[in-house]
Chains A and B, each alone.
Chain A
Amino acid sequence: MTTAYLVDGVRTPIGRYGGGLSSVRPDDLAAHALRSLVERLPSVDWSSVDDVLLGCANQAGEDNRNVARMATLLAGLPVEVPGATLNRLCGSGLDAVGTAARAIRSGDADLVVAGGVESMSRAPFVMPKAETAFARTAEVHDTTLGWRFVNPLMQSLHGTDSMPQTGQNVADELGISREDQDAFALRSQERTARALASGRLAREIAPVSVPQKRGDAVVVERDEHPRETSLAALAKLRPLFPGGSVTAGNSSGVNDGAAALLVASGRAVERYGLTPLARVSAMASTGVPPRVMGLGPEPATRALLDRAGLEVDDVDVLELNEAFAAQALGVLRGLGLPDDAEHVNPNGGAIALGHPLGMSGARLALSTALELADRGARRAVVTMCIGVGQGIAVLLEAA
């Protein structure tokens, strides 16, 4: 079987909801990431790309009708380069990376661009058609996040808890305290602040020039979501649910961003003189009850490690998407890891940085590959929880 290498990647800064990237269409945002990847790797023959796989969780607005293909063309890649959009909700970008690696390991491809995009600011309202002629009622759904057009059978079978409610369900069922959630959230902010200050996160970023109605374009070059806070400030925040412990302060944000990574075969690495960051060795996905979807990363990680003949202790870097501090802590404790493990999310996570749904997994894969290379470590796992009850995990190994 051929080895799949994660060669390099790039991402936009993560914009705050309604922030600096909110005027940029998602297809343009993804095209920017693709163009920036092309610029970073000038030795590659980009007309030879076998596929462009982008994760995207919404696809109800300007990201409709295969945003991967649209972005590929908008980026100026040749029309012969194909593209497909993957949707595993929050896990979409990571699924794109894992699927690209599978294509390469199977021998079906040599060069695949994998990434993701989400503009949650620009997620549209959508309306179903009227069920009857001359109907005088209309439904409108906000597609920014969460359930819409709910199937009544789904409702009766599994419930349709909001995402924060699933975080609260995990906190309640596992007895995860507000104090522990806030401490986790503060660590995310502090680690992100360190990574921002050191320039570590800037290595991942291709600044975006955003045209303005008047005057010069504004260049967005830093992640907008992180904020200075404290345990005292976090403790003041009102819980989302009466008697609950999940707050906006210990949850991920609603954000905009795009990422693009190059996954290549050994043959392509040699042909174009590339220096890969990591190997993409395996991927696993699992299902869990939707009402505790945040626990999905535990079985996904265990399935991944079982398949690779590894134990949790064999993992040098673990990147666990921080949908909610409650679910992250539930997963860590389930895996037998301490709440403040140094090798888990060493540069912070989505509580601080934000979570543009379809982009996040690709960002995590890139950031983890950089961390693996920087540390000279052997193995890393990237894992995410997914709405409607799934987990996904990808194994990266030293190149």
Chain B
Amino acid sequence: MSTPGEPGSDGDQVGQASCPDCAGRGERDGGSCPTCAGTGVVDELVGDA
């Protein structure tokens, strides 16, 4: 938990999301998903202002 006075950072705004192309399975069309290299996850910016 942060406290007032503690800065946020850009690193706080990128996280893992399920791969949009293989639904997190890591496999697609009978092989490893090329989008996520078979991991099932991709890095994504996290929203809100």
- Partner-B contacts on A (CB < 8 A): 16-17, 57, 89-90, 120, 142, 144-147, 150, 155-165, 167-169, 172-173, 227-230, 232-234, 236-241, 246-249, 251-255, 291, 323-324, 350, 354-355, 357, 385-387
Contact = CB atoms under 8 A, between A and B. Distances in A.
B15 interface: yes
A161 B48 contact: no
29 contacts: A16-B20, A120-B47, A158-B4, A159-B4, A159-B5, A159-B6, A159-B7, A163-B8, A165-B12, A169-B2, A173-B1, A227-B20, A227-B23, A229-B24, A236-B16, A237-B15, A240-B12, A240-B13, A240-B14, A248-B16, A248-B17, A248-B44, A249-B17, A251-B47, A253-B44, A291-B4, A324-B48, A386-B49, A387-B48
Given A167-B48, A227-B17, A234-B18, 4 more contacts: A17-B44, A163-B13, A237-B16, A246-B46
A156 B18 contact: no
Contact of B15 (A89, A247, A385): A247
A350 B49 CA distance: 13
B45 to A, nearest CB: 4
B8 A247 contact: no
Interface of B: 1-10, 12-20, 23-25, 40-41, 43-49
A341 B46 CA distance: 25
Contact of B12 (A157, A162, A323, A324): A162
B35 to A, nearest CB: 11
Contacts of B12: 162, 164-165, 240-241
A233 B46 contact: no
A387 B13 CA distance: 14
Contacts, number: 150
* Most chain A beta-carbon neighbours within 10 Å: one of B7, B9, B41, B47: B47
A229 B2 contact: no
Residues of B contacting A: mostly: loop
A164 B10 CA distance: 10
Contacts of B6: 159, 161
A240 B10 CA distance: 11
B41 A164 contact: no
A255 B32 CA distance: 27
Given A227-B18, A230-B24, A248-B15, A164 B46 contact: yes
A330 B46 CA distance: 19
B46 to A, nearest CB: 4
Contact of A230 (B14, B15, B23, B44): B23
B7 A155 contact: yes
Contacts of B25: 233
Contacts of A232: 24
A147 B18 contact: no
A291 to B, nearest CB: 7
A165 B3 CA distance: 10
Contact of A165 (B8, B23, B43, B49): B8
Given A145-B45, A163-B48, A387-B48, A233 B40 contact: yes
A237 B47 contact: no
Given A236-B41, A238-B16, A251 B5 contact: no
B23 A253 contact: no
Given A161-B2, A162-B13, A238-B15, A248 B46 contact: yes
B47 A355 contact: yes
Contact of B48 (A145, A228, A240, A249): A145
* Most chain A beta-carbon neighbours within 10 Å: one of B5, B9, B12, B23: B12
Contacts of A323: 47-48
A249 B15 CA distance: 8
Given A146-B8, A162-B12, A240-B12, A247 B49 contact: no
A236 B24 contact: yes
A240 B17 CA distance: 11
